[in-house]
Chains A and B, each alone.
Chain A
Amino acid sequence: MKRTVTLTVNGTTYQRDVEPRTLLVHFLRDDLGLTGTHIGCDTSQCGACTVMLNGKSIKSCTSFAVQAIGAEITTIEGLADGDVLHPLQDGFWEEHGLQCGYCTPGMILSSLQLLQRNPNPSEEEIRKGIEGNLCRCTGYQNIVKAVQHAAAKMAEVKV
């Protein structure tokens, strides 16, 4: 028995009928065609599927689509302001914070949550903040630099 899911993603409202067991990540990717959110594991370890749901970062493989009915979701596709990259996107590019790019969308969204809660994190706090996201390429050092880059840029904007 399918259920109707209505939600808003990156400012656009969508309505689809899906099986109740459909995971939010499959809904975003397969039903809405928003494939920037990735799937990297099946036990909520890797964080490749991280999105913002009502302002909080969640692993979208660990939520059913029906749990997100009425929610406001931000995915990597909705982070830039038109052609202007978000400071985090810019930071990852500037600091070589990605190689294969697969973990990057989830890593950026987790970092966004971190900077919203702590705009000026230390290296240790950044490492702790992205602990729920695995990267196999970079050894994390340049991801830390990317987040620091973004933090500095976001602080400038506020001033």
Chain B
Amino acid sequence: MKPAPFNYAKPSSVDEAISLLDGDATLLAGGQSLVATLNMRLSAPDLLVDINGLEELSGISVDGGTVRIGALTRHRELERSEVIAAQAPLIAEAVPLIAHPAIRNRGTVGGSIAFADPAAELPACLLALDGAVEIAGSGGRRKVGAGEFFRGLYDTALEDGELITAIEVPAAAGNQRFAVEEVARRHGDYGMAGVMASVTVNGETVEAARLVYIAAGGTPMLAEGAGAALAGNAIDEASIGAAQSALEGDLDPFDDMNSTAATKLHLARVMTERALKRIAGA
């Protein structure tokens, strides 16, 4: 488990990083996903571009109704941030479910979004919150909505030579309710199933529900049918049941080593009920 030989560069600005990405280069952020693939020789880039230490990529800020999280922000900073707890409670609830503290100390938001593991929490949160990804490349800067960013299994809208500078999510509004429910085989493992739920209510009635599932397809999966089943209704046995039924059409889970697609769908339904009941109780 030694990586193939590679070259290493540590740029001092985002622009320099972008210029280095020209060629067979890979960005190194927290290294928690990348270093394992290097050591297993699943990837062998010529050049590692280490973006750790780039000030412009770090930090959490709120501007108007938008929370901006720099790409190099560590999972652990999210977990401890009062801004995140207050303005993005869905993320605050999800982050402790990412791996273990040692990994959260290193792993970054940008790395997690770029890696786009369909079982990862942050991509699902980004989609549930209908956030956006800020991207920089030699052609300039652009912003891509979460719905367009995640394209397929480990496939995103990032083009060669681009990097993620930040993500943005709307700050939580008073009529929004959030819940994360996840089942993993052990504490800290990637979930076998899970839902990141963002529900906008008007009194008892659901105005809109964005339920995003992990490990339920090639990307984080927004359950539109389940959302529609809830919209206009109170959260009760009937609407929960309707949302659960809609998941068959919304999700596209596949068999993996831990469970079959059928089990994942079952678990997604269980997570749905738990999340919605919690939201209704709050």
Are A and B subunits of one complex?
no
Which residues of B are at the interface with A, using a C-beta cutoff of 8 A? Answer: none
